[in-house]
C-alpha cells in the first residue's frame, strides 16, 4: 500500500480501541465506543458516542463516518448525518452520532463497534459565479423527476 495515505491517530480515553479493517477488502475501518458507561438510545432518539480517538487526516483527504450495515439492517441503528465528515484540519475527538430508527431501545456498551471510518480523497472546487448555466436535457428536474 505504498500510495495509501498515512493517517495518524491518538487515543484520548482509556477505553479507546485502535480502529481496524475487519477484512482485507473492507473499505471502512470499524470505530468502537470509548464511553465510560452504557449509553441508552430510545426509539427515535440520538446520541453522540465518543470513540476516544482524534485523527490527523492528510490534506486532500477526509474521513467519512458511516453506519455499520449490520446494525442498520438488524436494529435500525444509523447515522442521521451519514456520512459524517472529518476534515483534514480537525484534531478533536471523533464522536459517532447514532440514531435509533428501530422499535426497541438500543444500548451501546463500551467497546461496541458503532460505525465505520472511510478515508477518501477530496477535490477542492474552484468556484466561478456566472450569469447563466449551460442548458441540459434534464434542466432543473429534481427529486423523482424520472419516475
Question: What domains, with CATH codes, occur in the chain?
Answer: 8-121 (2.70.40.10)
**DSSP symbol at 72:** H
Element of type H or E holding 71: helix 69-75
What's this model's pTM, rounded to 2 decimal places?
0.88
What does the pLDDT read at residue 133? Answer: 92
Cβ proximity of 94 and 31 under 8 Å = yes
**Would strands 106-108 and 8-11 be described as parallel, antiparallel, or unpaired?**
unpaired
- Rg of the chain over Cα atoms, rounded to whole angstroms, equals 19
**DSSP symbol at 14:** T
Tell me the pLDDT tens digit for each residue of 50-83. 999 999 999 999 999 999 999 999 999 999 999 9
Amino acid at each position: 500500500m505504498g500510495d495509501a495515505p498515512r493517517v495518524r491517530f491518538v487515543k484520548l480515553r482509556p477505553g479507546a480501541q485502535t480502529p481496524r479493517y475487519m477484512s482485507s477488502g473492507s473499505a471502512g475501518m470499524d470505530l468502537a465506543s470509548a464511553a465510560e458507561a452504557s449509553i441508552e438510545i430510545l426509539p427515535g432518539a440520538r446520541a453522540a458516542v465518543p470513540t476516544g480517538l482524534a485523527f490527523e487526516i492528510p490534506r486532500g483527504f477526509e474521513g467519512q463516518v458511516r453506519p455499520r450495515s449490520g446494525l442498520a439492517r438488524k436494529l435500525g441503528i444509523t447515522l442521521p448525518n451519514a456520512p459524517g465528515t472529518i476534515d483534514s484540519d480537525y484534531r478533536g475527538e471523533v464522536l459517532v452520532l447514532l440514531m435509533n430508527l428501530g422499535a426497541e431501545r438500543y444500548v451501546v456498551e463500551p467497546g461496541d463497534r458503532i460505525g465505520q471510518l472511510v478515508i477518501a480523497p477530496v477535490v477542492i472546487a474552484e468556484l466561478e459565479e456566472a450569469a447563466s448555466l449551460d442548458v441540459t436535457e434534464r434542466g432543473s428536474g429534481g427529486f423523482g423527476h424520472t419516475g
